[in-house]
Structures are given as structure tokens and as C-alpha cells.
Amino acid sequence: AQSVTQLGSHVSVSEGALVLLRCNYSSSVPPYLFWYVQYPNQGLQLLLKYTTGATLVKGINGFEAEFKKSETSFHLTKPSAHMSDAAEYFCAVSDLLTGGGNKLTFGTGTQLKVEL
């Protein structure tokens, strides 16, 4: 069965500092990987996704993530944090063993706090 582990349920950074949110996955077949963001009282918004091809994926709002098969990781980064980045971030995985469609397995989430 596939799974996702997000290290650190809470991460705090200073405005302008590097954001690094960690995600490790487990899948017996090539995975599809996703990062979503959730603002208070809202649904999830897709930041970026990896399917195949280039391992460095660029997303919205200046975020990017790198798929590293050897490390089974898909960490999310942003060079310079902004106050508006404060939210909860979810890593998710899907693969062909789960069948078609949008069945995603989510990590437990990382709450990002951005301080002045």
C-alpha cells in the first residue's frame, strides 16, 4: 500500500527565509506526487504535481519540488517566504495500483507559520 510521511507537523520560518517542507512516500510502482495548500476555512489548492519527466517541478506562488526516486522524497521549497504563505500544506501520492481517477493518499499535513 502506498503512504506518505510529512516530517514536522509545524514549521516556522521568518519572512524572506527559505521554506522547506519534507515529504517521503512509499509506493511499489512509479508514483504521481502532489503538493496541496489549504488556507483556513477553505478547500485544497494544487501547488504542483509530478507525473513523469523532469524531476524538478515548478508550481504556483514560487514553490517548487524535486522528485528524488533514490530517496523516495518529494520535498517542497520556496526561496523566500511571504506572510501570505502561512497555511497548511499536504503532500499526496497516487499510483496505478490504486486504479484510475483521483484517489489520492495524503500525508498528515504541515502547518507553516511565517514570522516577521
Partner 1 sequence: KAGVTQTPRYLIKTRGQQVTLSCSPISGHRSVSWYQQTPGQGLQFLFEYFSETQRNKGNFPGRFSGRQFSNSRSEMNVSTLELGDSALYLCASSRWGDRATNEKLFFGSGTQLSVL
Q: Residue 18 CB, nearest distance to partner 1 (Å)?
A: 26
> Looking at this protein, which amino acid is placed at residue 34?
F
Residue 43 or 116: the one with the smaller Cβ distance to partner 1 is 43
Q: Is 24 in the site for partner 1 (CB under 8 A)?
A: no
Among 44, 64, 66, 111, binds partner 1 (CB under 8 A): 44
Contact 7, 108 (CB under 8 A): no
Q: Residue 38: name the closest of 76, 82, 87 by CA.
A: 87
Q: What does the block give as the cell for 52?
A: 513523469
Q: Is 107 in the site for partner 1 (CB under 8 A)?
A: yes
- Residue for cell digits 517541478? 57
- The residues binding partner 1 (CB under 8 A) are 32, 36, 41-46, 49, 51-52, 90, 92, 94, 98-109
